[in-house]
Chain A
């Protein structure tokens, strides 16, 4: 049986949770189809993550070590992945649907002649056919999409499966990778900076997200306080990103980030379907909204009907005591 290759992304010194979710799912499919499951890590110190990848079900962990990978530039990532794919000849390639992966998926698919099922909510492989369900039409519909192509690339939305460590221990293989920086300078002159929010929303355990109901700086201060008390990353709906109250990095939804925390606070968010598409995999959703008919209450585990300017000061006090 041909193998499954999982591309693992490293961030803040660890393998991304969404990558481990993808690896766990691949390991389940590998077991069901008797396919070996391998992983690939591209990072300045790739080998240091190999043991963890093994414990989540990778039989072999291919490590490409080069500083260039830490810069999130698509050209070297494409070159590195192509090297490993040509070496192991996988039937199925799986990666978490991060911005860095979205950046390379199309070009990679052409380079390695793969059919692509992007941004899927679930996937499986039966008798060589890969099936998936993925949100389309700005998340208003789900599409069951299949591919019987000889090679298929799947990118998986975060929170779609639970990451589970097993007792396995993978074998580590260092893959030589020589990157000619002159090659890069022919196309990309420089990486000027990487700035902004350092908390990755898509990895956060708690997310506090603000919508139109948060209105202004005083509302934002209450949201910031709730986030600081709960150790949360801060998210936002499109409405308050457009007004400039929150940065574009914070946008959650079909066109922004997909998050799947343990606890999600939706503050003054009406719950348009495009927003819900980015957070409906959260385990517990708390919504606070003045409008009792707001669609956010259809997805909230606990919905509080009321003015967030009145509720948040009380909630912040109560949480501070509860978490002390």
Chain B
């Protein structure tokens, strides 16, 4: 299948200390991985597209090293003010008229955790879509998608061209091989300047650490005592049982 995977460079939120290190969004890595798995025995190529500063080339090379073939870099130095809608419009502008069977994205990005751009892009392109996919297989004319719903997994068949947003529960993205890394260095990235974006509809005024819960009671001792104390507390203090 001809895939285009939309990827994003984000701060490394998994690190315990924020160092400013930028990485490939983990959900997008799962999207790249699944495209590679589906095309394992075929000849179809996987393209990438990223919006970000010139320095984000590093993230594109990481995804190329996993096995993607081509990449488009929409260069925009200040991406901090871009909201999901602006991102979706830039991607739609670039993907309009393309002939991909499927466009994949992560289900959200680790920095804003919005989870909107995929659905927005599908709507702008007028193609069917599914979100929060935990499984995906190719069918004769589209994709069989398993998505995580509220009470269970829902399976649906999307006709190509379609768009799917991927969960990190879908797979474990491969670590690029040395050969992959060397190959990615030689790949020519198609670089274009971002077109104008309108005024963002939303604005982040400030960020701050979340307020924690009030400290509770930590009990140590023999298991019998702990259980007796807990039952008393749940009954008499918390009214929880």
Q: List the interface of chain A (C-beta within 8 A of B).
A: 9, 11, 72-75, 98-100, 102-111, 114-119, 131, 134-147, 149, 186-200, 202, 230, 241, 248-249, 251, 254-255, 262-263, 280, 283-286, 292, 297-307, 310-311, 314-315, 318-319, 322-323
Residues in B with CB closer than 8 Å to A131 are 205
Q: Are B119 and A103 closer than 8 Å at their CB atoms?
A: yes
The minimal Cβ–Cβ distance linking B91 to chain A, given in whole angstroms, is: 12
The minimal Cβ–Cβ distance linking B39 to chain A, given in whole angstroms, is: 22
Q: Which residue from B131, B151, B205 sits with its C-beta under 8 Å from A102?
A: B131
Residues in A with CB closer than 8 Å to B206 are 143-144
Q: Are A11 and B169 closer than 8 Å at their CB atoms?
A: no
Q: Which residue from B144, B205, B223 sits with its C-beta under 8 Å from A145?
A: B205
The minimal Cβ–Cβ distance linking A157 to chain B, given in whole angstroms, is: 11
Which among B14, B124, B130, B201 has the greatest number of chain A C-beta atoms within 10 A? B201
Q: How many A-B residue pairs have CB under 8 A?
A: 262
Residue B122, interface by CB 8 Å: yes
Which single residue of chain A is at the shortest CB-CB distance from B122? A107
Q: Are A283 and B152 closer than 8 Å at their CB atoms?
A: no
Residues in B with CB closer than 8 Å to A299 are 212-213, 216
Q: Are A145 and B204 closer than 8 Å at their CB atoms?
A: yes
6 A-B pairs with CB atoms under 8 Å apart are A11-B151, A75-B128, A110-B119, A143-B206, A196-B153, A304-B226
The minimal Cβ–Cβ distance linking B72 to chain A, given in whole angstroms, is: 22
Residue B215, interface by CB 8 Å: yes
Q: Are A314 and B227 closer than 8 Å at their CB atoms?
A: yes
Known: A72-B149, A314-B224. A284 touches B234 (CB 8 A): yes
CA distance A58 to B91 in the complex (A): 39
Q: Are A146 and B153 closer than 8 Å at their CB atoms?
A: no
Q: What interface size band does chain B fall in? A: 35 or more
Q: Are B210 and A139 closer than 8 Å at their CB atoms?
A: yes
Which among B114, B127, B155 has the greatest number of chain A C-beta atoms within 10 A? B114
Which among A103, A104, A262 has the greatest number of chain B C-beta atoms within 10 A? A103
Which single residue of chain B is at the shortest CB-CB distance from A141? B207
Q: Are A115 and B120 closer than 8 Å at their CB atoms?
A: no
Q: Are A105 and B115 closer than 8 Å at their CB atoms?
A: yes
CA distance A143 to B207 in the complex (A): 4
Residue B192, interface by CB 8 Å: no
Known: A194-B153, A301-B216, A318-B228. A106 touches B13 (CB 8 A): no
Q: Which 8 A-B pairs have the closest CB atoms?
A: A106-B119, A196-B152, A115-B201, A187-B128, A106-B116, A192-B155, A107-B123, A189-B157
Q: Are B241 and A263 closer than 8 Å at their CB atoms?
A: yes
Residues in B with CB closer than 8 Å to A230 are 241
Residues in B with CB closer than 8 Å to A198 are 151-152
Q: Are A311 and B226 closer than 8 Å at their CB atoms?
A: yes
CA distance A140 to B111 in the complex (A): 10
The minimal Cβ–Cβ distance linking A13 to chain B, given in whole angstroms, is: 13
Q: Are A305 and B219 closer than 8 Å at their CB atoms?
A: yes
Q: Are B213 and A280 closer than 8 Å at their CB atoms?
A: yes
Q: Are B111 and A301 closer than 8 Å at their CB atoms?
A: no
Residue B156, interface by CB 8 Å: yes
Residue B65, interface by CB 8 Å: no
Q: Are A188 and B205 closer than 8 Å at their CB atoms?
A: no
Q: Are B142 and A286 closer than 8 Å at their CB atoms?
A: no
Residues in B with CB closer than 8 Å to A307 are 223
Q: Which residue from B84, B130, B144, B216 sits with its C-beta under 8 Å from A302?
A: B216
Q: Are A99 and B132 closer than 8 Å at their CB atoms?
A: yes
CA distance A140 to B153 in the complex (A): 28
Q: C-beta contact mask, B176-193 vs A, less than 8 Å → 1, else 0?
A: 000000000000000000
Q: C-beta contact mask, B127-139 vs A, less than 8 Å → 1, else 0?
A: 1111110100000
CA distance A305 to B234 in the complex (A): 17
